[in-house]
Amino acid sequence: MIRFFNGRVLTLDGGYDITDSEVWTDGAQIRYVGPERADAPVFEREIDLRGDLLMPGFKNAHAHSAMTFVRSFADDLPLQRWLFDKIFPLEAKLTPEDVYDQTKLAILEYLAGGITAAFDMYYKREAFAQASVECGFRMVLNGALSAGDDFSVADADCEKFNAMDPLISYIPGIHAEYTASTELLAYMKGLIDRTRKPFFTHNSETKSETEECVQRHGLTPTALHEEYGLFEYGGGGFHCVHLSDADMEIFRRRGLYAVLCPASNAKLASGIAPVAAMERAGLNLAIGTDGASSNNALNMFREMYLVSVLQKLRESDAASGDAARVLGMACSGGAGAMGLNAECIAPGKLADLIVIDLHRPNMYPRHNIVKNLVYSGSNTNVRLTMVGGKVLYEDGQYFVGEDPEEICRRAQRSAERLTRE
């Protein structure tokens, strides 16, 4: 067992209060949250928080981790040109070794920023899952089927990855309506019914994508997927920038998660998701970084800030985009979307925890720590990142099974090879 003591704790268990509790973890789970106890066991390690903040880790609820290989390579293009002219042709060259190396690079960045799990949609899933397990990082894989693919892979993947390792799980999905076929959608309905799993996909990321879907099918992407019965067991959509009121009603009724990706949507000029309207409609919300090619950082502090201030801009209302609720989306909301028992700090929950350094200048004064986290917090404040009860990052040092500099060097070589003419 590991003991965190002498600090402050933001449990996110039903609110945003910060207490002076201590927290014990036992294996991969949280065992105890509360005051110091006389009957404490002998601990494997006692971590002195020195007045800093223990809180649930950030969940990156939409990622293409291995896309680090095209960070700062194909910027400043509209989404459809960026995707079809630049990204898809390069992705066709990816080997499993590339995905392995690039995924490990992304995990280093996640850990340094307090991200304890990612909901990842990408290819070469064996290599991806291997890299994650080797690092000790938690990943939820999401299907990314398109019309030309061998659909049966999804059935096999769903079974394989949900049995593979406690750190790995799999949720079915397709890349997006605009790369799908009616055959694929029908196949997905069968998979959903067989597995009783939620369904996730890129949804209404751009205006044109949404309009073209309506032209093709007479339905928005959300309504089309609902028509096919894909949300029978929940799920949601990534981006959701251009949801209609009727789409939001489907989301609300089904308890679906809209996963916001504000940085990516801004950088690709896709727009600002209607977060205030989503909140009024009672939608479940989570936050993702998207891939490093369209962001280009994998940094939840940036995303939280953007969710809040972009909503203030969109609504012309400085009171919109409440910081506490945004913090909830980044932690609890993400856990909900990803099906992780890690939405708060409480006994029995996963020990996916981070320690925030409250002694850096950007955290002073401490009028409101939650607002400080969202409005002035940054990766410099991440002192420690624990996944499944194991410390993977602490005081700038990584504990991921191999030298982080070697991971960076391999990722550099892989990226150079992939992007060479």
Q: How many residues bind a second copy (CB under 8 A)?
A: 72
| Residues 242, 204 contacting (CB under 8 angstroms) | yes
Q: Of the two residues 225 and 410, which places its CB atom closer to a second copy in the complex?
A: 410
Please name every residue paired with 391 in a beta bridge, in sequence order, or none if there are none.
Answer: 386
Please list every residue from 269 through 288 that binds a second copy, using CB under 8 A: 269, 271-272
Length of the chain: 421
The verdict on 379 binding a second copy (CB under 8 A) reads yes
The verdict on 295 binding a second copy (CB under 8 A) reads yes
Q: Of the two residues 126 and 315, which places its CB atom closer to a second copy in the complex?
A: 315
Q: Of the two residues 17 and 227, which places its CB atom closer to a second copy in the complex?
A: 17
The verdict on 383 binding a second copy (CB under 8 A) reads no
Which residue do the tokens 């009957």 mark? 39
Please list every residue from 308 through 367 that binds a second copy, using CB under 8 A: 308-310, 312-313, 315-320, 322-323, 359-362, 364-367
- Phi, psi (rounded to 5 degrees) for 356: -100, 125
Q: How far is the CB of 378 from a second copy (least distance, A)?
A: 6
Q: How far is the CB of 243 from a second copy (least distance, A)?
A: 18
| Residues 124, 94 contacting (CB under 8 angstroms) | yes
| Residues 115, 57 contacting (CB under 8 angstroms) | yes
Please list every residue from 397 through 416 that binds a second copy, using CB under 8 A: 404-405, 408, 411-412, 414-416
What's the CA gap between 215 and 233, in Å, rounded?
27
119: helix, coil or strand? strand
What's the CA gap between 51 and 8, in Å, rounded?
6
Please list every residue from 49 through 108 that binds a second copy, using CB under 8 A: 68-73, 75-79, 82, 105-106, 108
Q: Of the two residues 182 and 412, which places its CB atom closer to a second copy in the complex?
A: 412
Which one of 2, 121, 131, 268 is in contact with a second copy (CB under 8 A)? 268
Q: Of the two residues 304 and 350, which places its CB atom closer to a second copy in the complex?
A: 304
Please name every residue paired with 201 in a beta bridge, in sequence order, or none if there are none.
Answer: 174, 237
Q: Of the two residues 349 and 410, which places its CB atom closer to a second copy in the complex?
A: 410
From start to end of 254-409, where are the E strands? 257-260, 284-287, 353-356, 382-387, 390-394, 397-398
Rg over alpha carbons for the chain, rounded to the nearest Å, is: 21
Q: How far is the CB of 294 from a second copy (least distance, A)?
A: 9
- Show the tokens assigned to 403: 């030298």
**To the nearest 10°, the Cα dihedral for 176, 177, 182, 186?**
50
Q: Of the two residues 132 and 308, which places its CB atom closer to a second copy in the complex?
A: 308
| Residues 419, 73 contacting (CB under 8 angstroms) | yes
Q: What is the DSSP letter of 32?
A: E
Q: Of the two residues 37 and 50, which places its CB atom closer to a second copy in the complex?
A: 50
| Residues 9, 55 contacting (CB under 8 angstroms) | yes
Q: How far is the CB of 15 from a second copy (least distance, A)?
A: 18
Please list every residue from 215 through 234 that binds a second copy, using CB under 8 A: none
Please list every residue from 186 through 205 that binds a second copy, using CB under 8 A: none
In the chain, what's the furthest Cα-to-Cα distance? 68
Which residue do the tokens 């494997």 mark? 44
Please list every residue from 245 through 264 that binds a second copy, using CB under 8 A: 263
Q: How far is the CB of 88 from a second copy (least distance, A)?
A: 17
Checking phi first, is residue 240 left (phi over 0); if not, alpha (psi -120 to 50) or beta?
left
The verdict on 109 binding a second copy (CB under 8 A) reads yes
Q: How far is the CB of 72 from a second copy (least distance, A)?
A: 4
Q: Of the two residues 147 and 297, which places its CB atom closer to a second copy in the complex?
A: 297
The verdict on 307 binding a second copy (CB under 8 A) reads no
Q: How far is the CB of 206 from a second copy (least distance, A)?
A: 10
Q: How far is the CB of 406 from a second copy (least distance, A)?
A: 12
Q: Of the two residues 181 and 208, which places its CB atom closer to a second copy in the complex?
A: 208
The verdict on 16 binding a second copy (CB under 8 A) reads no
Q: How far is the CB of 414 from a second copy (least distance, A)?
A: 8
Distances, alpha carbon 192 to alpha carbons 168, 200, 235, in Å: 19, 11, 11
The verdict on 166 binding a second copy (CB under 8 A) reads no
- Show the tokens assigned to 391: 């410390």
Instruction: Count CB-CB contacts under 10 A for residue 397.
Output: 10
